[in-house]
Structure formats: structure tokens, C-alpha cells
């Protein structure tokens, strides 16, 4: 090999070492950067040179697209499971465990105990007042629970609006990045940073709506939901949704009072597992607004209905007429079977017995519609009211239809039902979280390995030193030749 060839080879080696150190530095500085793809320096032998040498072919970005896709779907499932688990936890806390003083079961038991205490001393006004207060607290708990459900539906509706806006924005950004990547690729420029940015955006989109990426020409990608809806293919789809200011038990998507979701003006379902936009965070919010919270309201209404009907029976309180409200009322009116929706939000203690509303507690002893106080020692009605709570009666609505339950049995059944639902949601969340964790670990293993990069850096330093030594040796040879 000639001196010129050796010098040329060394210079090429120094250039390759310099580029290699730049790539390694970029990798190490982006170990924790989301969406960052491992950069690798591509080298080959210099076939155009008679003396050989090394040629820098470029820098490639290495990612495991299959693993990335699996992780996106897992994260979408985890986001969906997390939202649903959160709601079931809220419902379970709202109803309360039987051993919690504020739970519906405990408050029913307290009312039963206070009625028993009042029946043992019907002449004691403070005992009557205590029983009325227990009934008021129980009614207020129903109202609070119903308000909690409607607040959850309203929050879900607002969240859907916010997430749909973000989805539209992200789709437009991916479209713009597609264009930039194509332009950069045609011009022969590196577009790795653009690819990283696009990956982060697609990850975000997939959390909202699970998507699959399909490669297109010139580095572009198309996005399809796992349900087959085209979100981006050349142009970005426009996802539509109309927010609602306030949500009440009467407002549902089924009766047309609440907005569904559209893609380019066409309605798309999010409800079933096979819907166009099923899975992900947006579908979970729809499940809360249109399914889970609505069902919970239905069961709560059934419980409130049973409580009202138990005490408006003229056979229990003979002072009541056929259409007179009893101890518990629908906003101080008797229960109307045609107006059960939202009854838990309207249940209240009869103002005739509630001293906070100008009523008289003695009516709990002598009858809601009694004209005047009766025998202060007669606890017959109080015993009947207590028995009304304990008697097994057929449930007229909700999931309880067909069975015979006491008031506490109904509440216990409801508590167990939503406890089981919460446990099921928790299991789903644990499974999806484990999937995400495992896939994340595997993806990190395929990404930047700081130990491996440091080992590469040592090799680069050795290569740099070796090529520098060659140049030094060539310089010494040239000096020797000049001295001859």
C-alpha cells in the first residue's frame, strides 16, 4: 500500500469515527426520550478506492414496528380499563360498604333501629325527631349518589369533547409530518427526528382510539382504527362530537338527547367491542356516559322506588289516601310508575313530618295525614313502618325484578353487584397494565442500550486512536523522506 493510500484510509477512518461518536452521543442523550428510534451508523468498504478504506453510507433508524404496534394496542386497552375501573370504584364508594356508617346499607339499618327506638317510647319527641332525621339522611344519600352519577356522565361528556378535539388536531399533525417526511426523503435528507415525532403522535392517537399503521409510498403512513374506520389516508378524517352543557337522568344517546360520534359526518359506534371506534379512552368515556352510569342510575332508581312505595301503602298508614305520599316521596308527591327515571335524584322525606320543612315529627307516630296528635303512647304505626322495611316484597324494576326482598336485602344485593363489577374491572386493569409493562420492557430492550452504546464508544475511541497513529506514522515517514 502506498503512503497516499494509507493516509486516505486513515482520514476515512477518522471521519467514520467522528460520525460514530456523534451517533452514540445522540443515542445516549435520548435514552428516555419518547418515540426515539435507535440510530445506527451504516458503514461499508470503499470499493471505489484501490487502497480500500471505509465508507459512511448514512445513519439508519432502527425500530421494531410490530412491537410498537402491540404496545399501542395494549396502552389503548389499559386506558380503557383504567377509566372504567375508576368509575366502578366511584360507584362502590358512593354506595359504600355495609360496615361504613355513611353507606346506604348502614343508613337503612340506622333508620330501622331509630324506628324501633321510637316505637319503644312513642311519647318521646326526641326519638321521633331522630327517626325523621335518619330518614332524611337516607333520602339525601340517594340524592347525593344520583348526583354523583350524573356528574360522572357530565364529566365523561366534556372529556369526550376534549379528546375528540385532540384527536382531530393530532391527525392533522400526522398528515403534516407525512408531507414533511416525504419531502425530506425525496431531497435525500435525514428525517429521523420527524419519524420520532410522528411515532409519538400516533402513540397518543392510539390511546384515544386504537389504530393500526399501514405504510404508504415515500415514507408516509395511513391510520385505520382497529374497527376499520379510516382516520388518515392521504387526508385526515374529521371526527365530530357535540358537547352537552348539563346531563340529567332523562338525557341519553338512545333517545337522541346526547351526541354520538361521527367520522366525516357519518355516525360511528363506540359501544360494542367490534364498533368502529371501540377500545381506547374515548370509547371508555362513552361507556360511562351511555352505559355504566345509566345502568347504575337505573338500579338506584329501582331502590328508591321500592323505598317510597313501601311507605305509601294505606295498609301501613291508614291516614293515607290511595294517591297520597308516605314517609318518602317524589319531591313531596306520591310515586308515579310512569316517572321512575331519576327518582333517586328526587326522593325526599315528606315535608309533613320534617321539622326542617315546617313539618311535625309526631305525624310519624300518628299518621302522615293525621289532623291532630293522637295517643302519645301508641307505637302501632311506628312498628308497621319498621316492619315495612323488613318485609320481603317483590321488586318492580331494575335487576331485582322477580325476586322478593327486604329494603336492606335490595341494598346489599346492589352493593355486591357493583363490588363484583369493580373487582372485574380491577382484574382487567391489572392484566392490561401487565401487558403494557411487559411490552415496554421489550421495546426498551430493542431501543437504546446505554451499556452497549458505551461499549461502542470505546471501540470508536480505539478506531480513532488507531487511525490517528497511522497519520502520525505517515507524517514521520514523510519527514524521513524529506531529510534524505
Q: Does residue 282 lie in a domain region?
A: yes
Rg (CA), the chain: 36
Residue 227 CB-half CA count within 13 A? 20
Please check whether residues 373 and 472 belong to one and the same domain: no
Q: Does residue 442 lie in a domain region?
A: no
Q: Does residue 443 lie in a domain region?
A: no
∠ at Cα 181 (179, 184), nearest 5°?
Answer: 110
446 and 65 in contact (C-beta within 8 Å)? no
Provide the pLDDT for residue 397. Answer: 87
Please check whether residues 27 and 142 belong to one and the same domain: no
Please check whether residues 258 and 212 belong to one and the same domain: yes
The residue ranges of the chain whose pLDDT is under 70 are 1, 47-51, 272-273
Q: Does residue 441 lie in a domain region?
A: no
Domain that holds residue 182: 69-435
Q: 163-199 pLDDT, tens per residue?
A: 999 999 999 999 999 999 999 988 888 888 999 999 9
The CA-to-CA distance between both ends of the chain, in Å, stands at 21
Q: Does residue 45 lie in a domain region?
A: yes
Please check whether residues 431 and 456 belong to one and the same domain: no
Provide the pLDDT for residue 50. Answer: 62
- Decide: pTM greater than 0.75: yes
Please check whether residues 405 and 425 belong to one and the same domain: yes
Provide the pLDDT for residue 1. Answer: 63
Nearest to 174 by CA among 186, 185, 166, 163: 166
Please check whether residues 402 and 426 belong to one and the same domain: yes
Provide the pLDDT for residue 270. Answer: 83
Please check whether residues 378 and 461 belong to one and the same domain: no
Residue 139 CB-half CA count within 13 A? 21
Q: 113-155 pLDDT, tens per residue?
A: 999 999 999 999 999 999 999 999 999 999 999 999 999 999 9
Please check whether residues 209 and 350 belong to one and the same domain: yes
Please check whether residues 59 and 140 belong to one and the same domain: no
Please check whether residues 305 and 390 belong to one and the same domain: yes
Please check whether residues 286 and 407 belong to one and the same domain: yes
Provide the pLDDT for residue 467. Answer: 81
Please check whether residues 233 and 259 belong to one and the same domain: yes
Structural domain total, the chain: 2
Provide the pLDDT for residue 372. Answer: 92
Q: Does residue 440 lie in a domain region?
A: no
Provide the pLDDT for residue 48. Answer: 65
348 and 311 in contact (C-beta within 8 Å)? no
Amino acid at each position: 500500500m502506498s503512503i497516499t493510500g494509507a493516509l486516505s484510509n486513515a482520514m476515512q477512518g477518522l471521519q467514520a469515527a467522528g460520525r460514530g461518536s456523534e451517533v452514540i452521543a445522540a443515542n445516549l442523550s435520548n435514552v428516555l426520550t419518547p418515540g426515539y428510534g435507535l440510530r445506527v451508523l451504516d458503514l461499508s468498504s470503499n470499493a471505489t478506492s484501490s487502497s480500500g478504506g471505509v465508507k459512511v453510507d448514512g445513519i439508519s433508524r432502527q425500530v421494531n414496528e410490530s412491537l410498537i404496534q402491540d404496545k399501542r394496542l395494549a396502552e389503548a386497552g389499559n386506558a380503557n380499563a383504567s377509566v372504567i375501573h375508576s368509575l366502578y370504584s366511584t360507584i362502590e364508594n358512593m354506595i359504600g360498604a355495609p360496615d361504613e356508617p355513611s353507606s346506604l346499607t348502614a343508613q337503612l339499618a340506622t333508620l330501622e333501629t331509630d324506628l324501633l327506638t321510637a316505637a319503644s317510647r312513642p311519647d318521646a319527641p326526641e326519638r321521633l325527631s331522630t327517626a325523621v332525621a335518619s330518614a332524611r339522611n337516607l333520602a339525601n344519600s340517594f340524592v347525593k349518589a344520583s348526583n354523583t352519577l350524573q356528574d360522572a356522565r357530565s364529566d365523561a361528556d366534556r372529556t369526550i369533547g376534549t379528546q375528540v378535539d385532540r384527536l382531530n388536531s393530532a391527525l392533522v399533525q400526522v398528515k403534516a409530518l407525512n408531507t414533511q417526511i416525504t419531502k425530506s426523503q425525496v431531497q435525500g435528507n435525514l428525517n429521523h427526528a420527524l419519524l420520532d415525532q410522528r411515532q409519538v403522535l400516533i402513540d397518543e392517537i392510539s390511546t384515544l382510539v386504537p389504530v393500526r399503521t399501514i405504510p404508504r409510498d415515500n415514507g408516509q403512513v395511513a391510520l385505520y382504527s382497529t374497527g376499520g374506520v379510516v382516520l388518515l389516508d392521504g387526508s385526515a378524517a374529521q371526527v365530530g362530537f357535540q358537547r352537552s352543557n348539563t346531563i340529567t337522568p332523562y338525557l341519553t344517546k338512545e333517545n337522541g338527547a346526547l351526541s354520538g360520534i361521527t367520522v366525516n359526518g357519518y355516525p360511528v359506534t363506540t359501544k360494542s367491542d367490534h364498533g368502529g371506534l371501540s377500545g381506547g379512552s374515548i370509547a371508555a368515556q362513552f361507556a360511562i356516559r351511555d352505559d355504566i352510569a345509566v345502568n347504575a342510575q337505573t338500579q338506584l332508581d329501582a331502590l328508591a322506588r321500592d323505598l317510597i312505595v313501601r311507605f305509601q301503602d294505606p295498609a301501613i298508614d291508614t291516614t293515607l289516601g290511595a294517591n297520597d305520599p308516605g314517609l318518602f316521596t317524589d319531591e313531596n308527591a306520591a310515586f308515579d310508575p310512569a316517572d321512575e327515571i331519576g327518582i333517586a335524584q328526587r326522593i325526599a322525606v315528606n315535608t309533613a313530618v320534617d321539622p326542617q320543612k315546617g313539618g311535625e315529627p309526631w305525624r310519624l307516630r300518628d299518621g302522615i295525614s293525621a289532623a291532630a296528635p293522637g295517643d302519645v303512647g301508641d307505637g302501632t304505626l311506628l312498628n308497621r313502618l319498621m316492619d315495612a322495611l323488613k318485609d320481603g316484597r317483590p321488586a318492580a324494576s331494575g335487576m331485582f325484578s322477580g325476586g322478593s326482598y327486604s329494603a336492606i336485602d335490595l341494598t346489599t344485593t346492589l352493593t355486591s353487584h357493583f363490588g363484583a363489577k369493580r373487582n372485574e374491572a380491577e382484574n382487567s386493569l391489572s392484566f392490561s397494565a401487565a401487558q403494557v409493562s411487559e411490552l415496554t420492557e421489550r421495546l426498551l430492550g430493542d431501543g437504546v442500550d446505554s451499556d452497549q452504546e458505551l461499549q461502542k464508544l470505546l471501540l470508536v475511541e480505539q478506531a480513532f486512536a488507531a487511525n490517528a497513529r497511522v497519520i502520525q506514522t505517515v507524517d514521520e515517514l514523510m519527514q524521513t523522506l524529506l531529510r534524505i
